[in-house]
Structure formats: structure tokens, C-alpha cells
Amino acid sequence: MESRSKALNDIKSMNILIVDDEAANIRLLETLLDFDDYQNVLSTQDPRETLSLCKDHAIDILLLDINMPHMSGHEVMEQLHEIEGDKPVVLVLSAEVERKHRYMALDSLALDFVAKPFDTHELLSRIRNLLEVRRAQNYMHNQNKLLEAEVTKRTYELHNSRLEVVRSLGRAAEYRDNETGLHIIRMSKIAALIGEASGMSKANCDLLLNAAPMHDIGKIGIPDQILQKPGKLTAEEWEIMKGHSQIGAEILEGDESSLLLCAKEICLTHHEKWNGSGYPHGLAGEEIPVMGRITALADVFDALTSVRPYKKAWSVADTLELIRNESGKHFDPVLTGHFMSVVPEIIDIMGEYSESEGEDPLKEAAF
């Protein structure tokens, strides 16, 4: 409880910059942030001041309008690339609700997009989520500085710290998706099992084990009404949902450690399919990195055998049958064979990290 309170205090003291040419919009946002106890909020109606304010005040998050005189929000984001080192995370607030404007912002520097007029609770939740990401980035970069100062002494400590950040952010994404966090434990252990069965080195199996929990971190940037919708998503909602792969990769951008590079690769590729029908890039066969192919198997198996707000848990037997049928279509056929060879060990993982006491993972299992 104490660490959670400290984390919340850290977020409330982070630096926020509002850039909007309408004074009324600025006053509204300042009032909302003040009411929610944010302590360091700056604002300007002149977008030309954005770059200098970001540099001078180490801005953590930028709340940015798009249509402004002198310089558009898109031009502001381009200018932010001049900042060396950490750039502020960007949340676009715009009345331009057409899909092309949303995509243009997200394809630039923005991590999220909220349409005006906005829902107050949703906006504050999104600001908090992005500041959580920013805090994690700051933490990792600070750890990197320690590594430069005392390479030998700090290597082990840095590795463990990164692992904790990875696990914490992975759990954050799962909790937003109405999950307990056990999903990422099970699926990462299953992924490592598959990797071992396929002949992967112990070092790479450990890398997979520790990077896989970040596979859905991009869900932090998906609206609650889509992420937690109990029914079927519309075509437009599904397109937004699919964006979590790219969002996750952008969140992990900038750190060259093998752990974060692997996590970024998994974020981008675990929804690709062997036959090329997946997303976001329609990769096929061995174009898909092996870490992504393995994570896809582990993730689908655990997701299907787990309860979700929109479905009951599948039996192990039905899930294995689906995976067999999808071999060569969704899944790498060779890796599917390795997966099937370790089903007994996977059943053990399900039992050890069960969502509820008394749940029997062997029920209806056939292999």
C-alpha cells in the first residue's frame, strides 16, 4: 500500500504541459488537473513555445490540440524530435474525430488520442496511464545511467529492475483487460517451455520468459469501452483494438537492451499468422520472428482456456483440437509439434497458477 501511494504521489508531481489556442479549453483542463491533485501544470496558447517549454521544464506529458494558428499539432510533434534523450509522451485532444486525423496523430509521436468533447473520467484515466508509462521509462533510463557508472557492480541489479518493470507493466495491461495477472505468468512459462522443446538456448528461453509478459502492454492505450466490451466489437472498434500491437512497440521504443528489444518484437508480431492473415503487417511463415510465433501459441492456448468477460473457458481438449486445426494456418506447424510435446508440463503450469482453487486443468484433457 505504501509503495502504491508513493507511485501515485510520483505521478501527481510529474510535469504536464497543455498546448491549446483556446483559453477556455486550457482553463477547463487546468481545473480538472488541479481537482485531481496534479501539482506541476503549465500551459500555452502559442504552439511555437512548445519546444522550449518542453526542454526548459522536462515535460513528462504533453496535452496537445491539433488545429491551431501558427503551427499545427502535427508540426509540433515533428519539432519535438529535436529534443535529445527523453521526449514527452503526447496525448492529442482534438475535435477532429475523423479516422484519418486519429491515425495521423498516432503514426506521429502521439501515444493516445481523445476526441473533444471528452469524458472527464476517461481523460483523467488516460493521463494517469500515460504517466505510468512515463514513470516506467524514467525508471529504466535512470537504471541505465547507473549501469554506465558502475557496469560490473550494477549489472545484476539493473537486470532485476528491468524484469520488475516488465512484469509490472505487463500486469497493468492485464488488469485493464479484466484479468488477474496470472495469464502473463502462465503464458510466459508456456512460451519458455515451447522454446526449450524447439531447441532454443537457455539464454534465449530466459529472454522469452521475461519479455513475453509485455506482449499486450499496448492495451494501455485502448479505450475502456472497447477493451472491456462484453459483446462483439464493430469493424471500427476492431481496427482500434488491433492498434495495441503498434502502441506496445512505441511504448518500448528507445531502449536497446536485449530484453526490451525482444519485448518490442513480441508486441509487434504475436498477432501475425503463419499464412499471412494476421496483423499488424501481414507477415507470413518465417518472416515472423520465432519469439512472436512461440508467444502466439502460448497466448492463444492460455486465453482460450481462461475465463474472459465475453466468454467461458474452453476445455483443454477443445483448445488442443483448435491448435491442431490451425497448424500451418495460424501457427508455425513445426512449433505446433513442439507445443504438443510439452502439453503435460503445460497442464502442470495451469494447475500451479490456477485462477481459482479447485480448478482442474486436466478436465476433458486429451493429448
User: Which residue is associated with the grid cell 484479468?
Assistant: 179
Instruction: Collect the ranges in the chain with pLDDT lower than 50.
Output: 1-6, 357-367
Q: pLDDT digit string (tens) for 275-326?
A: 999 999 999 999 999 999 999 999 999 999 987 766 788 999 999 999 999 9
Do you find a cis peptide bond into 344, omega within 30 degrees of 0? no
In whole angstroms, what is the distance from residue 53 CA to residue 55 CA?
5
pLDDT for 10: 79
In whole angstroms, what is the distance from residue 265 CA to residue 72 CA?
32
In whole angstroms, what is the distance from residue 43 CA to residue 17 CA?
5
In whole angstroms, what is the distance from residue 232 CA to residue 310 CA?
8
Nine-digit cell string for 177 = 483487460
pLDDT for 358: 40
Structural domains of the chain sorted by starting position, each given as residue range(s) with its CATH number in brackets: 2-129 (3.40.50.2300), 150-352 (1.10.3210.10)
Q: pLDDT digit string (tens) for 243-273?
A: 999 998 998 887 778 888 999 999 999 999 9
- Element at 141 (helix H, strand E): helix 120-149
pLDDT for 191: 97
In whole angstroms, what is the distance from residue 119 CA to residue 199 CA?
51
